[in-house]
Amino acid sequence: MTLLPLKKAEGLTQVIFSNKTIIRHCIIWLLIIIYLSHENYVEGPKQAVVIYVTLMVLNFSVFYYLLTLWLLPKFYAKVVYLVIMVMLANALFVGFDALNLKIVLPYFNGSTARAEFPFFTFVRRSTIFYFFICICALGSYNNLNANIWYREAMEKEKSATLRELNFLKNQFHSHFTLNFFNVCYSRILSKSAVAAQSVENYCEILHYTLKTNPNGYVALTDEIAYLENFIAVQKCIGANTNYKIQVQGEIHWYKIVPMILPIMVENAAKHGAAERAENPIEIELVVEENIFSFRVTNSRKQYSLEQSSGIGLENLKRTLNIYYPGRYSFSNTETEHKFTTQLTIQLNAHDLLA
């Protein structure tokens, strides 16, 4: 794992002192206080017990955060300096522990069994506490380090994706382009109603693509309208291609991730043989009992020099894995004359329109 440089150590502070982390740390320190109060029995007034346990936990916490937020980020890659600093911190920890045990506790008329330990036994026990803190700090540091780098990697990937999307969108001025197509539509209409309709369908596709958030959801009815325009343009591109579409069920209640249905239709149009009216590309969309079903069937070409890369369907599967994990099925069924792709999604409350 890449080491966290000192200039990014402030990222550790932001993560470790976030609201959720603060609550988690408070709970852990509370459990430690309960453990120390039970394990280190103190004889004397309650005031002595409270002060002794408080100073002990303060000693633990100060060195834990000192190691996590400063010492490890600064010296992690410098082993010799790290060992020296850890040993110096150990000496300070033992010293503060001895101060609490030998001076502060007796001052408030308290006593504990640890105060009777021989010197080297006391140092050994205190050092064991310290190295327990070191192990916890090292684990926290590596965990926080990994989280920060993962978050930065995700932000960079997201930023790159957004820049690419904005770059593609800025290749042309959308309003200018749509106005241009509107002018073309009005001029072509008097010459050919079919050609004008094709321009209008393409304008609808362009407008839908520009206004739709690719990382969001759209109403299923809007996606169906987009699909119908998409098919109309496909008919214009392949004049001899025939389609048969059937839509039924509770389509007005749900939303869906955009642009996933046309991939299946485009794949059928690209690799199917639908030149004859008796062999159309059959499209069936059904929403029934919280089950979304979309099936595309096309006749197979007997001979095709064009090889399928499968990229479109693989991208479709990746999208489905992100937005519908564990509640979709996608299958390809191939016979001698037919090729069928079917997508089934188990809909839930998240998929309902607001």
Which three-class secondary structure state does DSSP give residue 345? Answer: strand
Per-residue pLDDT at 267:
82
Per-residue pLDDT at 4:
45
Per-residue pLDDT at 146:
82
**Last-in-domain residue among 123, 143, 167:** 167
- Pair (114, 30) in one structural domain: yes
Q: Does residue 83 fall inside a structural domain?
A: yes
Work out the average pLDDT over 189-212: 82
Per-residue pLDDT at 5:
44
Choice among 130-134, 151-155, 208-212, 304-308 with the minimum mean pLDDT: 304-308
Angle at 41 between CA 35 and CA 44, to 5 degrees: 130
Per-residue pLDDT at 256:
92
How many whole angstroms separate alpha carbon 256 and alpha carbon 345? Answer: 10
Per-residue pLDDT at 14:
58
Q: Does residue 82 fall inside a structural domain?
A: yes
- Pair (15, 100) in one structural domain: yes
- Pair (155, 249) in one structural domain: no
Instruction: Between 173 and 111, name the one with better pLDDT.
Output: 111
The two tokens of residue 255 are: 């939303």
Instruction: Between 153 and 132, name the one with better pLDDT.
Output: 132
Q: Does residue 266 fall inside a structural domain?
A: yes
Number of structural domains, the chain?
2
pLDDT tens digits for range 56-97? 889 999 998 898 888 888 887 788 988 999 999 999 999 999
Per-residue pLDDT at 274:
55
- Pair (147, 245) in one structural domain: no
Amino acid at 166: N
Alpha helices, H only, 170-245: 174-189, 193-211, 220-237
* pLDDT above 70: percentage of residues in the chain: 82
**Last-in-domain residue among 121, 151, 167:** 167
- Pair (252, 130) in one structural domain: no
- Pair (159, 13) in one structural domain: yes
Would you call 150 exposed, middle or buried from its count of C-beta atoms within 10 A (0-12, 13-18, 19+)? exposed
Q: Does residue 89 fall inside a structural domain?
A: yes
Instruction: Look at residue 255 and tell me whether its pLDDT is greater than 90.
Output: yes
Per-residue pLDDT at 191:
82
Sign of the torsion angle spanned by Cα atoms 30, 31, 32, 33: positive
Q: What is the CATH number of the domain that holds 266?
A: 3.30.565.10
Q: What is the number of alpha carbons within 13 Å of residue 327 lying toward its C-beta?
A: 13
**Using an 8 Å Cβ cutoff, are 231 and 274 in contact?**
no
**DSSP structure class, residue 306:** P
In angstroms, the Cα distances linking 24 to 21, 150, 187 are 5, 21, 68
Give, for 58, the enclosing helix (H) or strand (E): helix 46-66
Per-residue pLDDT at 7:
41
Instruction: Look at residue 303 and tell me whether its pLDDT is greater than 80.
Output: no
Of 150-164, 232-246, 288-302, highest mean pLDDT: 288-302
Per-residue pLDDT at 232:
84
Per-residue pLDDT at 305:
44
Angle at 173 between CA 222 and CA 208, to 5 degrees: 5
Would you call 46 exposed, middle or buried from its count of C-beta atoms within 10 A (0-12, 13-18, 19+)? exposed
- Pair (105, 251) in one structural domain: no
Of 150-164, 203-217, 253-267, highest mean pLDDT: 253-267
Instruction: Between 56 and 310, name the one with better pLDDT.
Output: 56
Per-residue pLDDT at 346:
93
Per-residue pLDDT at 98:
92
The total of other beta-carbon atoms located within 10 Å of residue 291's CB is 12
The DSSP result for 89-125, as a single string, is HHHHHHHHHHHIIIIIHHHTT-EEGGGGS-HHHHHHH
Q: Does residue 224 fall inside a structural domain?
A: no
Instruction: Between 38 and 332, name the one with better pLDDT.
Output: 332
Give, for 127, the enclosing helix (H) or strand (E): helix 119-169
The pLDDT-based confidence of 171 (bands split at 50, 70, 90) is low
Which among 9, 22, 21 is positioned nearest to 145, based on CA atoms?
Answer: 9
In angstroms, the Cα distances linking 71 to 5, 29, 87, 138, 339 are 12, 21, 12, 10, 63
Report pTM: 0.50
Per-residue pLDDT at 301:
67
Q: Does residue 277 fall inside a structural domain?
A: yes
- Pair (251, 126) in one structural domain: no
Work out the average pLDDT over 86-114: 90
The residue written with tokens 């700090």 in the block is: 137
Q: Does residue 192 fall inside a structural domain?
A: no
Work out the average pLDDT over 211-221: 82
> Which structural domain, as residue segments, surrounds residue 265?
241-301+309-351
Q: Does residue 186 fall inside a structural domain?
A: no
- Pair (156, 260) in one structural domain: no
pLDDT tens digits for range 8-56? 455 555 555 666 778 888 888 888 878 777 776 778 888 888 888 889 8
**Last-in-domain residue among 167, 188, 208:** 167
- Pair (115, 252) in one structural domain: no
- Pair (41, 127) in one structural domain: yes
Per-residue pLDDT at 295:
94
